[in-house]
Structure 1
Amino acid sequence: MSRLFRSLQAKYMLIIFVGLVLIQFTYITLSLVLTIGINFRREAADGMPSAQQIEKDWHEAAGSLTEVTRESVLELFREWKTRYPEASMFWVDEQGDLAVELDASESLPTSWSASYTAAFIKERYGGDPFTVIAFAGDEGGSGFVVFEIDRRFFLSDYALLYEEYAEWIFAALILIILLFILISYMFFRGIRKRLVQLQEAMSIRDVDGLPVPIDVRKQDEIGQLEQSFNEMIEELKESKRREQEEEQLRRELIANLSHDLRTPLTKIRAQAFTINKENLSAEGRRAIEAMESSVVSMDRLIDNLMAYTLLMANKYQYAPRSTDVLRFVREHLATWYPLFEREGFEVDVDLAPLRVSHWEIDPIWMGRVLDNLFQNVLRHAKQGRFVRVSTETTSAYDALVIADRGPGMGSGSSEEKGAGIGLSIVDRMLLGMNLHWDVHSDVSGTVVQIKRIYDLDDLPPASRSH
């Protein structure tokens, strides 16, 4: 039950309920207060006669005048004025002249013709003010007397309340509605503010790249969402910690396996060398050569695996220095030339000058990049028997280009398969040296570009205009 009362739905329903009660309370209170005020001003309202009674009494009073004179008519008017202070009265004598008037509500003509009198009676019949016309005297030959009073005099207290104070009541109700709207706005504004804070917390990351926890201040639906968000962060942190531990164990396992596998490989290579000295048949020598080739390949794979593990752990030493990249490529290619020649490759070298000949690279890293790319050509492009090492210069970059005429990386016709660790090492090492690389491969061959992309400030003054 307590959880229900803490919910946003219950809070908003409470706001609606309080708003409705407040409107009704205000309406009733205003009605009572204003009614009391009206009754206070009309203390004698309970004894007030009806319109029919006033009309009857006025006729009787006018007909009871035995002598119709100015003084007797004034006396009658004053008596009725005492009873009905809001009323107005006047007497038109038998000659049609306005003889007496008392608090007339409008300007009356001094002379009344028959047509004007008929028009006056027609206008006042059933209209406002309430008008009673009676002959003066019992004979009816002394003119007529008129009694007028505002029809509001006959309205009930509540009718007067609505008529006289409707604007105040309406203003009070509008005020209550505006207050309800304001409270609702503040309620939803608070909800939106908390949701925005939650959204901002989701976008902020700590040093591990995880969202930061958020303070839980209320136990409503949003508070439960915030609590779930914090629990998710804790689960992510725990998962991250386990992942790091597993990654560390995996790296240690790979390092240990790499070290342990090198020892038997060295023994296998030594035994193969010893066997090769014996008097073997041609088939036996081919088997020994295949075994030595497999040992070399396995040693290279172990070396790549070890290097990749160190790179992923950011423990592979990086020592960049300014290096003449063309000279470096020539010297490194010279170590691979015998291997290409043994496999029957045509080697085409076209290293034209670059716009900037010295690159800030780590020679060991760059050497491993070239080794992996050349090894990839030997493994997967034997059918083409061709490799080209050249340079390319544009307005935006300098590039080293290694091209072959193999079946392409996606053809699946290579005689050797691998897990792609060598190219992964190339990617991470080039990225670490702020170099880019592009690979274009199809059935006609593969082209690898190692690019150094320049900003204008990187170029020497003589090269900026090209």
Structure 2
Amino acid sequence: MKFFRSLLAKYMLIIILAISIVQISYLGVAIFVLGITKTGTGDFSSGVLVESDIEEQWHAQAKNMTNATDDAITQLFQKWQEQFPTASMFWVSEEGNLLTTWNVKDQLPAKWTPAYTTQFIKERYGDDPFTVIAFLGDDISNGFIVLEIPRVAFNPPLIKVYDNYGNFLFFGVIAVILFFIIVSLLFFKGIRKRLLHLQEAMEIRDVDGLPIEIQVKKRDEIGQLEHSFNRMVCELRDSKQRQQKEEQLRRELIANLSHDLRTPLTKVRAQSYTISKEALSEEGKQALKAMDTSIVNIDALIENLMSYTLLMASKYKFEPKDINVIRFVREHLTTWYPVFEREGFTIDIELQSFEPVEWRVDPLWLGRVFDNIFQNVLRHANSGKYISVKTESTACYTAFIVEDHGQGMKNESNAKGAGIGLSIVDVMIKGMHLEWDIHSDHSGTKIIIKKSAKLEK
């Protein structure tokens, strides 16, 4: 049953139908030919005219005409006329007089001389029409009778059919071929329409970004493909739901973990402040300073973890507006300048104005971007003791360049291997429709934050 529902079975049915129509057509032609070749009953009912048989019959019946009268000859001619409608016959007496004619279209002389008779026989011999001359009875005094049949009557039945119905047969065959082509086109057009419908369904997405299910109307190969597509959509939807549940659990876990970590961290910071008021040895002061640094780093990590979770959930507040980025970065650097000075960094700042000087960004997001980059320099490039913040303007973009002389990053990817702080930078920069590049080697790291000139237009 599965095979009979397939497209292959349907197309084979079309082919069998076309072949059957051709076979029925040929069978009809054969029956038609057999029907028209039946010329009656008696001596000439075979349907296929043979010259020798006709000649023999004509001579035999002429010989039996012992009583050659006009009525007897007329009856003989009439009998042959019924069998051969295109035949013409006439009777010439012994004296050469043209006595009786039947269906004669040519102009014959009323008086047949020996010379004319000889010429007539010479012209008709082996020519068209087929001519038979026979004497009446056993006595030549009765004269002779002549039978003329157009040679086209001796053509095979198929040739006659083709001559009479050739156009009909030709257009019939063309009609069968056109029928097969049209049915095939309709068949494949239906297949193409269903495939295009399936393609459209694959391209349409619902609110979750998943393809929609398609209605299965048939159970052939395309129907099975549509069923498999629907099953895939259901599996994707189930997977999406599981992913959303897992994502929600992860966010809740991170939020709870951050809250649980901040509580003891606050207590540790308070105890550290209390200890700092006591009299400590030099080693104790160094240990307390290291502990404070660790507390600050842990707090920053927790903050980054919370921020990254909110960004991934699209719940981090985003309020873009047009700001003077040169002024913004210069003011933001003033808060970091003392920090780098305290760590002994050489600070190189060259903020040259460029056009357009206004970027449409969220000031809090852009500030967070530079904060994370500067924190990354303090933590991972402290050995180089150098930081540079410059501007760059080209025909393609305007940019800020932050460069250090640290040992570089092991991985030059924008987010991968660069820590959660730079992962947040990557998400925020893309969210503000900016671009950034990282170039890092053993001699240092260069971070370029740029805005394309195309976006300005």
1:18 equivalenced with 2:21 (yes/no): no
For the Cα contact (< 8 Å) 1:8–1:221, is it kept in 2? yes
For the Cα contact (< 8 Å) 2:407–2:442, is it kept in 1? yes
The equivalences for 1:406-425 within 5 A come to 406-410=406-410, 420-425=419-424
Match of 1:82 in 2: 79
User: Deviation of residue 212 (structure 1)?
Assistant: 1.4
User: Deviation of residue 369 (structure 1)?
Assistant: 0.5
For the Cα contact (< 8 Å) 1:92–1:98, is it kept in 2? yes
User: Deviation of residue 376 (structure 1)?
Assistant: 1.7
Q: Indicate the SS of the match to 2:353.
A: coil
Percent identity reads: 51
**Alpha-carbon distance change, 359 to 83 in structure 1, aligned in 2, over 3 angstroms:** closer
Match of 1:461 in 2: none
User: Deviation of residue 190 (structure 1)?
Assistant: 0.8
Match of 2:8 in 1: 9
Match of 1:299 in 2: 299
Q: Indicate the SS of the match to 1:196.
A: helix
Match of 1:55 in 2: 55
Match of 2:271 in 1: 271
Q: Distance in 2 between matches of 1:163 and 1:327?
A: 101
**Alpha-carbon distance change, 57 to 22 in structure 1, aligned in 2, over 3 angstroms:** closer
User: Deviation of residue 233 (structure 1)?
Assistant: 1.0
One-letter amino acid matched to 2:80 = R
Match of 2:379 in 1: 379
For the Cα contact (< 8 Å) 1:35–1:158, is it kept in 2? no
Q: Distance in 2 between matches of 1:342 and 1:46?
A: 136
Q: Distance in 2 between matches of 1:47 and 1:99?
A: 27
User: Deviation of residue 243 (structure 1)?
Assistant: 0.7
Match of 1:393 in 2: 393
Q: Indicate the SS of the match to 1:316.
A: coil
Match of 1:216 in 2: 216
Q: Distance in 1 between matches of 2:21 and 2:326?
A: 88
Q: Distance in 2 between matches of 1:263 and 1:457?
A: 46
For the Cα contact (< 8 Å) 1:362–1:433, is it kept in 2? yes
The equivalences for 1:100-115 within 5 A come to 102-104=102-104, 112=116
For the Cα contact (< 8 Å) 1:135–1:144, is it kept in 2? yes
One-letter amino acid matched to 1:9 = L
User: Deviation of residue 430 (structure 1)?
Assistant: 2.0
User: Deviation of residue 141 (structure 1)?
Assistant: 9.2
Q: Distance in 2 between matches of 1:314 and 1:220?
A: 45
Match of 1:440 in 2: 439
For the Cα contact (< 8 Å) 2:66–2:136, is it kept in 1? no
One-letter amino acid matched to 2:148 = E
User: Deviation of residue 96 (structure 1)?
Assistant: 9.7
Q: Distance in 2 between matches of 1:456 and 1:411?
A: 29
Give the TM-score, by structure 2 length: 0.82
One-letter amino acid matched to 1:22 = I
One-letter amino acid matched to 2:433 = N
Q: Distance in 2 between matches of 1:66 and 1:164?
A: 41
One-letter amino acid matched to 1:23 = V
Q: Indicate the SS of the match to 2:352.
A: coil
User: Deviation of residue 34 (structure 1)?
Assistant: 6.3
Give the TM-score, by structure 1 length: 0.80
For the Cα contact (< 8 Å) 1:384–1:406, is it kept in 2? yes
User: Deviation of residue 377 (structure 1)?
Assistant: 1.7
The equivalences for 1:28-47 within 5 A come to 28-29=27-28, 31-32=30-31, 35-36=34-35, 39=38, 42-44=39-41, 47=44
User: Deviation of residue 422 (structure 1)?
Assistant: 1.3
Match of 1:148 in 2: 148
Match of 1:463 in 2: none
Q: Distance in 2 between matches of 1:143 and 1:232?
A: 102
Q: Distance in 1 between matches of 2:282 and 2:149?
A: 142
Q: Distance in 1 between matches of 2:288 and 2:449?
A: 37
Q: Indicate the SS of the match to 2:336.
A: helix
Q: Distance in 2 between matches of 1:46 and 1:179?
A: 45
For the Cα contact (< 8 Å) 1:96–1:112, is it kept in 2? no
For the Cα contact (< 8 Å) 2:398–2:450, is it kept in 1? yes
User: Deviation of residue 386 (structure 1)?
Assistant: 1.6
**Alpha-carbon distance change, 298 to 103 in structure 1, aligned in 2, over 3 angstroms:** same
Q: Distance in 1 between matches of 2:452 and 2:60?
A: 118
Deviates more, 1:332-341 or 1:367-376: 332-341
User: Deviation of residue 154 (structure 1)?
Assistant: 5.9
Match of 1:239 in 2: 239
Q: Distance in 1 between matches of 2:137 and 2:383?
A: 143
For the Cα contact (< 8 Å) 2:411–2:418, is it kept in 1? no
Match of 1:188 in 2: 188
Q: Distance in 1 between matches of 2:155 and 2:356?
A: 104
For the Cα contact (< 8 Å) 1:81–1:87, is it kept in 2? no
Q: Indicate the SS of the match to 2:407.
A: coil
For the Cα contact (< 8 Å) 2:33–2:157, is it kept in 1? no
One-letter amino acid matched to 2:429 = L
Deviates more, 1:54-63 or 1:329-338: 54-63
How many residues are paired up? 444
User: Deviation of residue 346 (structure 1)?
Assistant: 0.8
Q: Deviations over 1:263-300 (max 9, x none)?
A: 22222333334444555554444333333222222211
User: Deviation of residue 32 (structure 1)?
Assistant: 3.8
Match of 2:426 in 1: 427
**Alpha-carbon distance change, 57 to 399 in structure 1, aligned in 2, over 3 angstroms:** closer
For the Cα contact (< 8 Å) 2:437–2:447, is it kept in 1? yes
One-letter amino acid matched to 1:82 = K
Match of 2:207 in 1: 207
Q: Indicate the SS of the match to 1:218.
A: coil
Match of 2:259 in 1: 259
Q: Indicate the SS of the match to 1:14.
A: helix
For the Cα contact (< 8 Å) 2:124–2:130, is it kept in 1? no
**Alpha-carbon distance change, 53 to 402 in structure 1, aligned in 2, over 3 angstroms:** closer
**Alpha-carbon distance change, 108 to 343 in structure 1, aligned in 2, over 3 angstroms:** farther
Q: Deviations over 1:166-205 (max 9, x none)?
A: 5434433432332233222212211111011001111111
Cα RMSD, aligned residues only: 3.8
User: Deviation of residue 134 (structure 1)?
Assistant: 3.8
Match of 1:286 in 2: 286
**Alpha-carbon distance change, 4 to 393 in structure 1, aligned in 2, over 3 angstroms:** same
Q: Deviations over 1:94-116 (max 9, x none)?
A: 99999986545667899648677
User: Deviation of residue 383 (structure 1)?
Assistant: 3.6
